[in-house]
Amino acid sequence: MKVLVIGSGGREHAIVWKLKKSKKVDKIFCAPGNAGISKQAKCVNVKAENIKGLVDFAIRNKIGLTVVGPEVPLAKGIVNEFQKKKLKIFGPTKEAAQIESSKVFSKKFMQKYHIPTAPFKTFNMFAEAVGFCNSAQFPLVIKADGLAAGKGVIIVKNIEEATKALDDIMLSKVFGSAGSQVLIESFMVGQEVTIMAIADGKTIVSLLPSQDHKQVYEGDKGPNTGGMGAFCPTDFVTKDVMTQIVDHVLAPTIHGMSQEGNPFKGVLMAGLMLTDAGPKVLEFNCRFGDPETQAVLPLLKTDLAELMLASINQTLSSFPKLNWKPGSSACITIASKGYPGKYSKGMPIKGIHDIKEENCFVFHAGTILKDNKLVTSGGRVLGVTGTDKNLTMALSRAYRGVGKIKFNGSMYRKDIGFRVLKKAQR
């Protein structure tokens, strides 16, 4: 079977890497891919948002399975267009993808189907939003309604910070049209966890829980990013907690989407806060997470291509129980200085080939080959994943790999997993 993976980040590299191990897969294409992906798949010069170009490519090359990595093509309806041509594609339709593409839609959906989440209000007028904040209890969470590459969420501690955040989103349009409407919700306290689950419209199968680190600096300081690192699994998600998540979050979501006439197929990713009152939804995503995927997939022994086809064919109810490697996995993101703001590109990257340690994987994100030399081309450049018997050992393995990689202006967080490790040391 020929496979097409759409996207160019670390998530897509991890997906390509995992699919390459499948006995069902003969050849992998990636559009547009990156320098690292080009070593494992044939990169195609078609952008992820060029839906017509991707449909044409899939037909021309007799692609048996297309996997959509990023959220933008899903929000634009790539699955709908592939389905019209009877092409197998892994991901939700445009209508189902609204669970990520509109935070307002998502919150109202949760409210309707009694899925636990923080209290919220929505606004499309700047003055009304500021007026609400004037009488609200801080801290608050302000979110741009639309897609903002994981950066459209701002925690504010007072009215000055709230006013600036609302100005940035609604008036200055730092996130473009994504900020035409905002959502303001109560701040929740607890441990954060990400659950990625594979759905076929009726049945849902959960992957191992992971924890992402969104803020750019150590100690969860600084602005939100697409993700600076992740680890898997999370010991604090016990069997009882997982049962609560499935019963009160995942299953009602799949049922609700079906009731709405928009059955959800693909990856449903729930960002959750484990509060004293139980798990509550921070946000939903309609695709694999980045960098959670780079932490989770190295532990998955089950054939990923077979799992994706079961989602498409609606046969998850009879799919064998997922098989996992024992131990832990940790991914460290190496970013360009200035990210998530302005950063330089074209910096030569050295040291990747010096990583010869077993169970240490380098997933490329913002990289290209220029004059046959590997250089930076994005904010998040590489993800280094280590797997081992426990989290401490997995982190050590990953950080040893990170230490060998050099480029001008490189930066990374040195405290991935700090919340769990600190708790374990008490």
In this structure, are 300 and 399 located in the same domain? no
> Cis link prior to 263 (omega < 30° from 0)?
no
Contacts of 372 (CB under 8 A, 6+ apart): none
The SS3 of residue 178 is helix
Residue 316 has pLDDT above 70, yes or no: yes
CA distance 149 to 27: 30
In a domain, 362, yes or no: yes
In a domain, 291, yes or no: yes
In a domain, 109, yes or no: no
Query: Tens digits of per-residue pLDDT, 376-422?
Result: 999 999 999 999 999 999 999 999 999 999 999 999 999 999 888 76
Query: Tens digits of per-residue pLDDT, 7-34?
Result: 999 999 999 999 999 999 999 999 999 9
In this structure, are 151 and 231 located in the same domain? no
**Cβ count within 10 A of residue 423:** 11
- Burial label for 426, CB within 10 Å (0-12, 13-18, 19+), is exposed
In this structure, are 244 and 341 located in the same domain? no
Contacts of 242 (CB under 8 A, 6+ apart): 206, 209
- What's the pLDDT score for residue 425? 56
Expressed as residue numbers, the domain containing 244 is 191-318
In this structure, are 305 and 281 located in the same domain? yes
Residue 67 has pLDDT above 60, yes or no: yes
In this structure, are 297 and 195 located in the same domain? yes
Q: What is the CATH number of the domain that holds 155?
A: 3.30.1490.20
CA distance 264 to 291: 23
CA distance 121 to 107: 9
In this structure, are 155 and 208 located in the same domain? no
- What's the pLDDT score for residue 79? 98
Q: What is the CATH number of the domain that holds 365?
A: 3.90.600.10
Q: Which of 292, 318, 344 is the last residue of a domain?
A: 318
In this structure, are 305 and 248 located in the same domain? yes
In this structure, are 163 and 216 located in the same domain? no
In this structure, are 226 and 336 located in the same domain? no
- What's the pLDDT score for residue 149? 76
Residue 146, beta-bridge partner list: none
Q: Residue 424 in contact with residue 359, Cβ under 8 Å?
A: no
- What's the pLDDT score for residue 422? 67
Q: Is the pTM of this model over 0.85?
A: yes
In a domain, 113, yes or no: no
In a domain, 340, yes or no: yes
CA distance 169 to 36: 35
Query: Tens digits of per-residue pLDDT, 109-160?
Result: 999 999 999 999 999 999 999 999 999 999 999 999 998 877 789 999 999 9
Q: Which of 180, 203, 220 is the last residue of a domain?
A: 180
CA distance 371 to 219: 39
In a domain, 18, yes or no: yes
Tokens of 99: 């669970």
In this structure, are 167 and 241 located in the same domain? no
69-98: average pLDDT: 98
Q: Residue 345 in contact with residue 378, Cβ under 8 Å?
A: yes
Nearest by Cα to 190 from 277, 111, 77, 319: 277
Query: Tens digits of per-residue pLDDT, 232-280?
Result: 999 999 999 999 999 999 999 999 999 999 999 999 999 999 999 999 9
Least confident interval from 100-114, 142-156, 317-331: 142-156
Query: Tens digits of per-residue pLDDT, 196-210?
Result: 999 999 999 999 999
CA distance 284 to 269: 6
In a domain, 229, yes or no: yes
What total number of domains does the chain contain? 4
> Cis link prior to 348 (omega < 30° from 0)?
no
In a domain, 97, yes or no: no
The rounded mean pLDDT for the chain is 96
- What's the pLDDT score for residue 424? 58
